[in-house]
Amino acid sequence: MVSVATWNINSARLRLPIIAEYLVKEAPDVLCLQEIKCQESQFPAKALAELGYEHQAICGQKGYHGVATVSRLPIREVARHDWQANGEARHVGVELVGQDMVIDNVYVPAGGDVPDREQNVKFGQKLDFLERMTAWAQGVERPTLIVGDFNIAPLESDVWSHKQLLKVVSHTPIEVEALARFQAAHDWVDLGRQFVAEPERYFSWWSYRSPDWRKNDRGRRLDHMWASPGLAKHATAHRILEEARDWEKPSDHIPLVTEFDL
Protein backbone atom coordinates (compact mmCIF):
# COMPACT_ATOMS: atom_id res chain seq x y z
CA MET A 1 0.00 0.00 0.00
CA VAL A 2 1.29 3.45 -0.94
CA SER A 3 -0.34 6.73 0.16
CA VAL A 4 0.24 10.01 -1.67
CA ALA A 5 -0.88 13.39 -0.33
CA THR A 6 -1.03 16.85 -1.90
CA TRP A 7 -1.25 20.22 -0.16
CA ASN A 8 -0.85 23.83 -1.24
CA ILE A 9 0.92 24.93 1.91
CA ASN A 10 1.28 28.68 1.17
CA SER A 11 4.84 28.95 2.55
CA ALA A 12 6.70 25.86 3.71
CA ARG A 13 8.83 27.74 6.21
CA LEU A 14 5.98 29.67 7.81
CA ARG A 15 3.82 26.57 8.07
CA LEU A 16 6.44 24.01 9.00
CA PRO A 17 4.67 23.34 12.33
CA ILE A 18 1.45 22.22 10.62
CA ILE A 19 3.33 20.26 7.97
CA ALA A 20 5.00 18.39 10.81
CA GLU A 21 1.66 17.95 12.58
CA TYR A 22 0.14 16.49 9.43
CA LEU A 23 3.02 14.12 8.80
CA VAL A 24 2.94 12.85 12.39
CA LYS A 25 -0.84 12.43 12.49
CA GLU A 26 -1.54 11.13 8.99
CA ALA A 27 1.85 9.75 7.90
CA PRO A 28 1.39 9.60 4.12
CA ASP A 29 4.22 7.88 2.28
CA VAL A 30 4.61 10.81 -0.10
CA LEU A 31 3.64 14.46 0.37
CA CYS A 32 3.51 16.87 -2.57
CA LEU A 33 3.59 20.53 -1.54
CA GLN A 34 2.79 23.55 -3.68
CA GLU A 35 3.52 27.24 -3.11
CA ILE A 36 6.51 26.55 -0.90
CA LYS A 37 7.57 30.18 -1.51
CA CYS A 38 11.30 29.69 -1.04
CA GLN A 39 14.49 28.79 -2.80
CA GLU A 40 15.66 25.20 -2.60
CA SER A 41 18.39 26.11 -0.10
CA GLN A 42 15.77 27.65 2.21
CA PHE A 43 13.35 24.71 2.18
CA PRO A 44 13.05 23.01 5.62
CA ALA A 45 14.60 19.83 4.24
CA LYS A 46 16.41 18.81 7.41
CA ALA A 47 13.34 19.16 9.63
CA LEU A 48 11.27 16.99 7.30
CA ALA A 49 14.06 14.44 6.94
CA GLU A 50 14.14 14.14 10.72
CA LEU A 51 10.45 13.20 10.55
CA GLY A 52 11.31 10.37 8.18
CA TYR A 53 10.84 12.17 4.86
CA GLU A 54 14.47 12.06 3.80
CA HIS A 55 13.82 11.55 0.09
CA GLN A 56 13.10 14.96 -1.46
CA ALA A 57 12.71 16.69 -4.81
CA ILE A 58 12.53 20.48 -4.47
CA CYS A 59 11.91 23.02 -7.22
CA GLY A 60 11.87 26.45 -5.63
CA GLN A 61 12.39 30.12 -6.29
CA LYS A 62 12.72 33.25 -4.20
CA GLY A 63 9.52 34.29 -2.47
CA TYR A 64 6.93 32.86 -4.86
CA HIS A 65 5.46 29.65 -6.22
CA GLY A 66 7.65 26.54 -5.86
CA VAL A 67 6.83 22.86 -5.40
CA ALA A 68 8.39 20.09 -3.35
CA THR A 69 7.82 16.36 -3.06
CA VAL A 70 9.01 14.65 0.12
CA SER A 71 8.82 10.94 0.74
CA ARG A 72 9.47 8.15 3.21
CA LEU A 73 10.01 5.88 0.21
CA PRO A 74 12.90 6.25 -2.23
CA ILE A 75 12.09 8.59 -5.11
CA ARG A 76 14.04 9.76 -8.13
CA GLU A 77 13.45 13.13 -9.79
CA VAL A 78 12.62 12.66 -13.47
CA ALA A 79 11.33 16.01 -14.74
CA ARG A 80 10.91 19.74 -14.23
CA HIS A 81 8.60 21.21 -16.85
CA ASP A 82 8.39 24.94 -17.44
CA TRP A 83 4.76 25.01 -18.53
CA GLN A 84 4.68 28.69 -17.58
CA ALA A 85 7.45 29.28 -20.17
CA ASN A 86 9.11 31.93 -18.01
CA GLY A 87 11.23 29.97 -15.57
CA GLU A 88 8.78 29.92 -12.66
CA ALA A 89 9.05 26.91 -10.36
CA ARG A 90 5.69 25.20 -10.81
CA HIS A 91 6.41 21.51 -11.47
CA VAL A 92 8.53 18.61 -10.35
CA GLY A 93 8.10 14.97 -11.37
CA VAL A 94 9.43 11.95 -9.51
CA GLU A 95 9.23 8.19 -9.84
CA LEU A 96 8.81 5.81 -6.94
CA VAL A 97 11.91 3.64 -6.97
CA GLY A 98 10.94 0.01 -7.41
CA GLN A 99 7.35 0.87 -8.38
CA ASP A 100 5.96 1.61 -11.81
CA MET A 101 4.51 4.93 -10.73
CA VAL A 102 5.40 8.53 -11.61
CA ILE A 103 4.12 11.41 -9.46
CA ASP A 104 3.88 14.85 -11.06
CA ASN A 105 3.47 17.73 -8.64
CA VAL A 106 2.09 20.91 -10.24
CA TYR A 107 1.02 24.40 -9.26
CA VAL A 108 -1.14 25.92 -12.01
CA PRO A 109 -1.19 29.75 -12.07
CA ALA A 110 -4.18 31.36 -10.36
CA GLY A 111 -4.87 33.57 -13.38
CA GLY A 112 -5.57 36.96 -11.84
CA ASP A 113 -9.02 38.48 -11.37
CA VAL A 114 -10.37 39.19 -14.87
CA PRO A 115 -11.26 36.16 -17.04
CA ASP A 116 -10.15 37.74 -20.30
CA ARG A 117 -6.70 37.25 -21.80
CA GLU A 118 -6.89 40.58 -23.64
CA GLN A 119 -7.48 42.52 -20.43
CA ASN A 120 -5.49 40.28 -18.10
CA VAL A 121 -2.10 38.84 -19.05
CA LYS A 122 -2.17 36.44 -16.10
CA PHE A 123 -5.35 34.80 -17.36
CA GLY A 124 -3.77 34.22 -20.75
CA GLN A 125 -0.70 32.73 -19.08
CA LYS A 126 -2.92 30.32 -17.17
CA LEU A 127 -4.65 29.14 -20.34
CA ASP A 128 -1.30 28.76 -22.12
CA PHE A 129 0.06 26.79 -19.14
CA LEU A 130 -2.88 24.39 -19.43
CA GLU A 131 -2.31 24.07 -23.17
CA ARG A 132 1.34 23.11 -22.66
CA MET A 133 0.35 20.69 -19.91
CA THR A 134 -2.19 19.14 -22.29
CA ALA A 135 0.47 18.65 -24.99
CA TRP A 136 2.65 16.90 -22.40
CA ALA A 137 -0.23 14.65 -21.31
CA GLN A 138 -0.65 13.35 -24.85
CA GLY A 139 2.79 11.77 -24.60
CA VAL A 140 2.52 10.24 -21.12
CA GLU A 141 3.34 6.53 -21.34
CA ARG A 142 4.02 5.38 -17.78
CA PRO A 143 1.41 4.99 -15.00
CA THR A 144 1.24 8.53 -13.67
CA LEU A 145 -0.41 10.43 -10.85
CA ILE A 146 -0.62 14.18 -11.34
CA VAL A 147 -1.51 16.14 -8.22
CA GLY A 148 -1.53 19.69 -6.99
CA ASP A 149 -3.28 23.00 -7.03
CA PHE A 150 -4.91 23.17 -10.47
CA ASN A 151 -6.63 26.46 -9.50
CA ILE A 152 -9.78 25.31 -11.30
CA ALA A 153 -12.99 23.96 -9.79
CA PRO A 154 -14.53 22.22 -12.81
CA LEU A 155 -17.86 20.87 -11.55
CA GLU A 156 -20.93 22.69 -10.26
CA SER A 157 -20.64 20.85 -6.95
CA ASP A 158 -16.97 21.90 -6.68
CA VAL A 159 -18.01 25.45 -5.72
CA TRP A 160 -20.34 26.99 -3.17
CA SER A 161 -22.41 28.70 -5.89
CA HIS A 162 -22.18 27.71 -9.54
CA LYS A 163 -24.26 30.68 -10.72
CA GLN A 164 -22.38 33.30 -8.71
CA LEU A 165 -18.95 32.00 -9.74
CA LEU A 166 -19.48 31.50 -13.46
CA LYS A 167 -17.62 34.75 -14.18
CA VAL A 168 -15.08 34.33 -11.40
CA VAL A 169 -11.61 33.06 -12.30
CA SER A 170 -11.28 29.36 -11.34
CA HIS A 171 -14.81 28.38 -12.41
CA THR A 172 -15.32 30.09 -15.76
CA PRO A 173 -16.41 27.98 -18.75
CA ILE A 174 -13.19 28.75 -20.64
CA GLU A 175 -11.06 27.36 -17.79
CA VAL A 176 -13.30 24.35 -17.30
CA GLU A 177 -13.10 23.59 -21.01
CA ALA A 178 -9.30 23.91 -20.98
CA LEU A 179 -9.07 21.51 -18.05
CA ALA A 180 -11.41 19.09 -19.84
CA ARG A 181 -9.04 19.06 -22.81
CA PHE A 182 -6.18 18.24 -20.47
CA GLN A 183 -8.20 15.41 -18.94
CA ALA A 184 -9.10 13.98 -22.35
CA ALA A 185 -5.46 14.09 -23.51
CA HIS A 186 -4.61 11.11 -21.29
CA ASP A 187 -8.04 9.94 -20.12
CA TRP A 188 -7.07 11.03 -16.61
CA VAL A 189 -9.28 9.70 -13.83
CA ASP A 190 -10.33 12.34 -11.28
CA LEU A 191 -9.70 10.34 -8.11
CA GLY A 192 -11.44 12.84 -5.86
CA ARG A 193 -14.68 12.40 -7.73
CA GLN A 194 -14.16 8.67 -8.06
CA PHE A 195 -14.48 8.43 -4.28
CA VAL A 196 -16.64 11.51 -3.52
CA ALA A 197 -19.18 11.27 -6.31
CA GLU A 198 -20.84 14.30 -7.83
CA PRO A 199 -23.03 16.08 -6.73
CA GLU A 200 -21.69 15.60 -3.21
CA ARG A 201 -20.02 18.73 -1.79
CA TYR A 202 -16.24 18.60 -2.08
CA PHE A 203 -14.10 21.68 -1.35
CA SER A 204 -10.35 22.03 -0.74
CA TRP A 205 -9.94 25.81 -0.41
CA TRP A 206 -11.61 28.58 1.58
CA SER A 207 -10.54 32.21 1.31
CA TYR A 208 -8.77 33.93 4.20
CA ARG A 209 -11.22 36.78 3.63
CA SER A 210 -14.04 34.73 5.11
CA PRO A 211 -14.08 35.36 8.88
CA ASP A 212 -15.88 32.09 9.63
CA TRP A 213 -15.02 29.63 6.89
CA ARG A 214 -17.06 26.79 8.40
CA LYS A 215 -20.22 28.82 8.85
CA ASN A 216 -20.07 30.54 5.47
CA ASP A 217 -18.57 27.48 3.71
CA ARG A 218 -17.80 29.40 0.54
CA GLY A 219 -15.30 26.84 -0.67
CA ARG A 220 -13.98 25.61 -3.99
CA ARG A 221 -12.27 22.38 -5.07
CA LEU A 222 -9.05 23.77 -6.51
CA ASP A 223 -6.79 20.85 -5.54
CA HIS A 224 -6.81 17.60 -7.47
CA MET A 225 -5.36 14.11 -7.76
CA TRP A 226 -5.71 12.59 -11.23
CA ALA A 227 -4.35 9.22 -12.33
CA SER A 228 -3.65 7.33 -15.53
CA PRO A 229 -6.52 4.89 -16.18
CA GLY A 230 -4.49 1.82 -15.27
CA LEU A 231 -3.11 3.36 -12.09
CA ALA A 232 -6.55 4.60 -11.04
CA LYS A 233 -7.71 0.97 -10.80
CA HIS A 234 -5.26 0.50 -7.93
CA ALA A 235 -6.66 3.41 -5.89
CA THR A 236 -8.35 2.04 -2.77
CA ALA A 237 -9.19 5.13 -0.70
CA HIS A 238 -9.25 8.93 -0.82
CA ARG A 239 -9.52 11.37 2.07
CA ILE A 240 -9.61 15.12 2.67
CA LEU A 241 -8.69 16.74 5.97
CA GLU A 242 -10.95 19.75 6.43
CA GLU A 243 -9.87 20.15 10.06
CA ALA A 244 -6.46 21.35 8.81
CA ARG A 245 -8.12 24.62 7.79
CA ASP A 246 -8.57 25.27 11.53
CA TRP A 247 -4.98 24.58 12.55
CA GLU A 248 -2.79 27.39 13.87
CA LYS A 249 -1.67 29.69 11.03
CA PRO A 250 -3.38 27.47 8.46
CA SER A 251 -3.00 27.40 4.72
CA ASP A 252 -6.14 28.40 2.86
CA HIS A 253 -5.97 24.93 1.26
CA ILE A 254 -6.31 21.53 2.95
CA PRO A 255 -4.46 18.28 2.26
CA LEU A 256 -5.87 15.42 0.17
CA VAL A 257 -4.54 11.87 0.19
CA THR A 258 -5.12 8.80 -1.98
CA GLU A 259 -4.05 5.25 -1.16
CA PHE A 260 -2.97 2.74 -3.80
CA ASP A 261 -2.59 -1.01 -3.64
CA LEU A 262 0.43 -1.52 -5.88
Q: Which fold has domain 2-260?
A: Deoxyribonuclease I; Chain A (3.60.10)
Using left for φ > 0, alpha for ψ between -120 and 50, and beta otherwise, residue 108 falls in beta
From CA 190, how far away is CA 231, in angstroms rounded? 12
User: What is the average pLDDT across 199-223?
Assistant: 94
Whether pTM > 0.85 for this model: the answer is yes
Q: For the chain, what are the domain ranges?
A: 2-260
Is the backbone peptide bond immediately before 115 cis, with ω within 30 degrees of 0? no
Residue 10 scores a pLDDT above 90: yes
Percentage, residues of the chain above pLDDT 70:
100
Residue 167 pLDDT exceeds 90: yes
List the one residue out of 233, 137, 224, 135 whose CA is nearest residue 187.
Answer: 137
Q: Report the DSSP pairing between strands 205-206 and 102-107.
A: unpaired
